[in-house]
């Protein structure tokens, strides 16, 4: 698949690198310095290149939105027309100092994003784990028990695409339902952040749901 990365920081840089190593074509975009995008593309050791947001979006089968909530409007403006595109968002609607959610309970960042990009297919994915765990999960991909990763969205085709990419990274995708479930998924991320950054175990944290009694 062709994947455009909108926001090449901790999340976008690592996920883009993993997507490239998993065999996808990746365009890294939106960092403050072009040199950084070029370095990410070089070090991804796959089919990856640096580009502008509009180049990342142009032929993409999927876009990963991975910017701070305060940068969403800017990166979307730079990406141009994204109607018809699948947009995976890991962006959590945090306030400026990342101390709390600016949207919650009655809506979610993912739903507000979907209103901004009507005509695109928004899937909330990858936002529930810290960036620090991503390479470890990818490296452990062959192990029988994979960590879970919840995702949600309203359209089945785009959700299947998301589930495939989630598997490519090394997680077991857990379909949490329609996009409005992001209202629960996004606060859950703050719990994960608390455990990862304030707990004793360090930030390389993933989670796994178990259905007792379910026949495998
Ligand atoms: N980090 C995590 O573990 C984590 C986990 C779950 C969800 N999330 C969510 O994922 C999203 C991305 O988080 P992140 O930690 O990856 O953020 P980040 O490391 O700050 O990355 C954001 C990217 O946006 C770029 N950027 C910021 N301002 C810009 C500007 N004015 N012009 C051009 N580029 C600009 C940054 O450029 P530079 O590279 O030059 O800084 C960076 O590449 C956030 O919404 C966050 O809530 C993060």
Sorted by sequence, the CB contacts under 8 Å of residue 197 that are 6+ apart come out as 130, 203
8 close to ligand 1 (CB < 6 Angstrom) = yes
The pLDDT of residue 1 is 97
Question: Per-residue pLDDT tens for 48-57?
Answer: 999 999 999 9
Q: In which band, very low, low, confident or very high, does the pLDDT at 215 lie, cut at 50, 70 and 90?
A: confident
For tokens 């960092």, what's the residue? 31
CB atoms near residue 136 (< 10 Å): 13
The pLDDT of residue 144 is 85
For tokens 């919650």, what's the residue? 104
Q: Indicate the SS3 state at residue 197.
A: helix
Total-model pTM: 0.98
Average pLDDT taken over every residue of the chain? 97
Question: Per-residue pLDDT tens for 126-148?
Answer: 999 999 999 999 999 998 899 99
Q: In which band, very low, low, confident or very high, does the pLDDT at 216 lie, cut at 50, 70 and 90?
A: low
Mean pLDDT across 85-92 = 98
11-46 in b/e burial notation, b at 16+ Cβ within 10 A?
Answer: bbbbbbbbbbbbebbbbbbbbeeeeebebbbeebeb
Distance 92 CA to ligand 1 centre (A): 11
68 close to ligand 1 (CB < 6 Angstrom) = yes
**8 A C-beta contact, residue 33 and residue 53:** no
CA–CA dist 7, 86 (Å, integer)? 16
Q: Is the pLDDT of residue 62 over 80?
A: yes
Q: Is the pLDDT of residue 175 over 70?
A: yes
Distance 212 CA to ligand 1 centre (A): 37
Distance 6 CA to ligand 1 centre (A): 9
The pLDDT of residue 8 is 98
Cα distances (angstroms) measured from residue 23 to each of 13, 34, 134: 16, 23, 16
């Amino acid at each position: 698949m062709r994947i455009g990365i909108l926001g090449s920081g901790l999340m976008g840089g690592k996920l883009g690198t993993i997507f490239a190593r998993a065999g996808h074509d990746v365009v890294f975009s939106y960092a403050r310095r072009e040199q950084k995008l070029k370095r990410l593309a070089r070090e991804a050791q796959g089919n990856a290149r640096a580009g502008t947001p509009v180049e990342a979006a142009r032929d993409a089968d999927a876009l990963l939105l991975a910017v701070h909530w305060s940068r969403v409007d800017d990166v979307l403006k730079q990406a141009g027309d994204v109607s018809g595109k699948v947009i995976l968002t890991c962006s959590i609607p945090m306030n400026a100092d990342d101390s709390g959610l600016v949207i919650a309970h009655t809506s979610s960042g993912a739903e507000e994003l979907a209103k901004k990009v009507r005509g695109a297919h928004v899937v909330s994915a990858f936002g529930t784990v810290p960036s620090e765990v991503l390479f470890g999960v990818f490296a452990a991909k062959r192990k029988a028990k994979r960590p879970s990763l919840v995702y949600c969205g309203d359209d089945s085709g785009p959700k299947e695409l998301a589930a495939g990419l989630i598997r490519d990274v090394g997680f077991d995708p857990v379909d949490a339902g329609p996009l409005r479930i992001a209202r629960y998924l996004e606060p859950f991320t703050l719990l994960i952040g608390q455990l990862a950054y304030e707990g004793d175990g360090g930030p390389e944290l993933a989670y796994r749901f178990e259905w007792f009694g379910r026949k495998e």
